[in-house]
């Protein structure tokens, strides 16, 4: 049995500890914003935060999150009326084309901006390794710069 917090709720998983976090989140908890794509941790569509750090949930066993805090895309916004600054920037720059990879892109960016509050294009290219099959990388880069501005403004408030 594995207990952890997800999006501010304590939950328990009674299944096999080797089950990837992705399948617990999607199949057991019904949070389908986190996506399955490659299954080997290469693409990043399954990115969630574990204790505030971006992690690929398709290769993280649920046993590794015992007692930890998980945030999924569903838990990122402060409320239904108040988007996270990264989500706001994504909308402002019309980033998604198909949208499939975007929850993972957003979760990776939130963690990235904690470590790179004023990123260069090179910082973004070297650190955001999530794959977008639609190729919206130029819009993603612009949205990350905008999100950095929004986060900075929010911190000054």
CA–CA distance, 63 with 86 (Å, rounded to integer) = 30
pLDDT band per the 50, 70, 90 thresholds, residue 78? confident
Parse the chain into domains and list their residue ranges. Answer: 2-75, 85-156
Residue 61 has pLDDT above 90, yes or no: yes
Give pLDDT tens digits for 26-52.
Answer: 999 999 999 999 999 999 999 999 999
**CATH architecture for residues 85-156:** Orthogonal Bundle (1.10)
What is the pTM (predicted TM-score) of this model?
A: 0.96
Q: Which residue has the higher pLDDT, 78 or 53?
A: 53
CATH architecture of 2-75: Roll (3.10)
- In sequence order, what DSSP letters do the residues of 85-142 get, joined into one string? HHHHHHHHTT--SS-TTHHHHHHHHHHHHHH-SS--HHHHHHH-----TT--HHHHHH
């Amino acid at each position: 049995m594995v207990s952890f917090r997800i999006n501010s709720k304590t939950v328990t998983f009674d299944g096999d500890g080797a089950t990837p976090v992705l399948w617990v989140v999607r199949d057991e908890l019904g949070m389908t914003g986190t996506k399955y794509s490659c299954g080997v941790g290469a693409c990043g569509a399954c990115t969630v935060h574990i204790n505030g750090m971006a992690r690929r949930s398709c290769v993280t066993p649920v046993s590794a999150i015992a007692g930890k805090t998980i945030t999924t895309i569903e838990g990122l916004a402060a409320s239904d009326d108040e988007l996270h600054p990264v989500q706001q920037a994504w909308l402002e720059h019309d980033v998604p084309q198909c949208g499939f990879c975007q929850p993972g892109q957003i979760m990776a960016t939130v963690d990235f901006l904690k470590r790179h509050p004023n990123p260069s294009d090179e910082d973004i290219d070297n650190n955001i390794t999530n794959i977008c099959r639609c190729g919206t990388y130029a819009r993603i880069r612009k949205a990350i710069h905008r999100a950095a501005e929004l986060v900075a403004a929010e911190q000054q408030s």
